[in-house]
Amino acid sequence: MISLKKSSLKGLLTFWGEFKRQQMPTLCLGVILFILFIAIVAPFISPYDPYYMSEDLLSPPNFRHPFGTDQYGRDILSRAIWGTRIAIIVAVGSAGLSALIGIFLGSIAGYYGGLLDDLLTRLIDFFLIIPTFFLMVLIVALFGSNISFVILIIGLTSWPSNARIMRAQVLSLKERPYIDAAKVAGVNTFRILFSHIIPNGAYPVIANSTLQMANAILIEGGLAFLGLEDPHIVSWGNMIQAARAYLVIAWWAIFFPGVAMLIMVFALNMIGNGISVVFNPSLRR
């Protein structure tokens, strides 16, 4: 197992050297970077405005519309391109929030121990046994379908796994000799946590957060499919939801956004698995 005791350039280079030895995760990283590039340049490469309604209703793939059109005559390719933005925003926003909460609470629980650890552990266990998707469906149905709210709900219900991982890391790291040396030297608790323990213990959380990004995309798609997302948002989930009634006569309206979602979810899962293997080589097949 690689030990990255410093958040340094050397540590990052060591990580990258181990990561790129895995062909599939490296390839999938390239796929995600390509999707990110598409999201950035969407206004410049999109053939049509994603909201533009032409007279070609449910037109199959052709020269003017390579991915066809939907029931309103909107270009599927253009909407799929713009949908990358929502996918990335949801993935990064919700996973980032989950990681921040998980790292903070897990670090506090693991470092201080005692009653505080017991209380936070019980809280983590409580959230882990809740059927979170149904909870999210209920909350979104009651309080609104704004995409920012969806991101917030996903992040606030997915942090327990990160907290549990971080707690385990802190329990191990706080017994290391260099932490004892820092305490003897009079380094305050805040600095020990944020300069030594968290930077060295957060790597498994990063791996888990990558997997959570994939899960967030699926959750957003599920909420959209159930009609619980703002229909005016151009997202892959909304595209699938709007076209499900036309599956038999216009397969392309569901197929292309579905494939885009599948590719991104698969790529993120492979990257997450690749990061996990770097820090735990026993997972390597």
Tens-digit pLDDT profile for residues 221-252 = 999 988 888 888 999 999 999 999 898 999 99
- Judge whether 7 lies within some domain: no
Handedness of CA 60, 63, 65, 71 (dihedral sign): negative
- CATH number of 24's domain: 1.10.3720.10
Q: For the segment 55-91, what is each residue's pLDDT rounded down to a tens digit?
A: 999 999 999 999 999 999 999 999 999 999 999 999 9
Rounded-to-integer distance, Cα 122 and Cα 100, Å: 19
Cβ-contact 72, 53 below 8 angstroms = yes
Q: What is the DSSP letter of 48?
A: S
- Judge whether 54 lies within some domain: no
pLDDT at 191: 85
- Judge whether 155 lies within some domain: yes
Rounded-to-integer distance, Cα 143 and Cα 149, Å: 9
For the chain, list the strands marked E by DSSP.
Answer: none
- Judge whether 60 lies within some domain: no
198 confidence band (pLDDT: 50, 70, 90): confident
Inform me whether the pLDDT recorded for 193 exceeds 70. Answer: yes
Q: In the chain, what is the straight-line distance between the N-terminal and C-terminal CA atoms, in Å?
A: 15
pLDDT at 12: 73
**Percent residues over pLDDT 90 in the chain:** 54
| Owner of token pair 């213990």 | 201
| Owner of token pair 């999707």 | 35
Rounded-to-integer distance, Cα 201 and Cα 55, Å: 56
Which domain does 135 fall in, by range? 19-40+66-283
Q: For the segment 163-178, what is each residue's pLDDT rounded down to a tens digit?
A: 999 999 999 888 888 8
Q: For the segment 78-125, what is each residue's pLDDT rounded down to a tens digit?
A: 999 999 999 999 999 999 999 999 999 999 999 888 888 899 889 888
More confident residue, 279 or 266: 266
- Judge whether 104 lies within some domain: yes
225 exposure class (CB count in 10 Å sphere: 0-12, 13-18, 19+):
middle
Q: What is the DSSP letter of 186?
A: T
Helix, strand, coil: what percent of the chain each, to 5?
Answer: 75, 0, 25
Least confident of 49-53, 126-130, 142-146: 142-146
190 exposure class (CB count in 10 Å sphere: 0-12, 13-18, 19+):
exposed
Domains held by the chain: number: 1
| Torsion, Cα of 147, 151, 153, 159 (10° steps) | 180
Average pLDDT, the chain: 89
pLDDT at 187: 78
pLDDT at 252: 95
- Judge whether 11 lies within some domain: no
Handedness of CA 218, 233, 100, 122 (dihedral sign): negative
| Angle, helices 23-40/76-112, rounded to nearest 10 degrees | 120
| Owner of token pair 């006569």 | 249
Residues 6+ apart with CB under 8 A from 67: 61, 75, 76, 77, 80, 252, 256
pLDDT at 251: 95
pLDDT at 9: 64
Q: For the segment 130-146, what is each residue's pLDDT rounded down to a tens digit?
A: 887 888 888 887 877 78
pLDDT at 6: 47
CA 3 vs CA 12, 146, 203: distances in Å: 11, 42, 10
Cβ-contact 207, 275 below 8 angstroms = yes
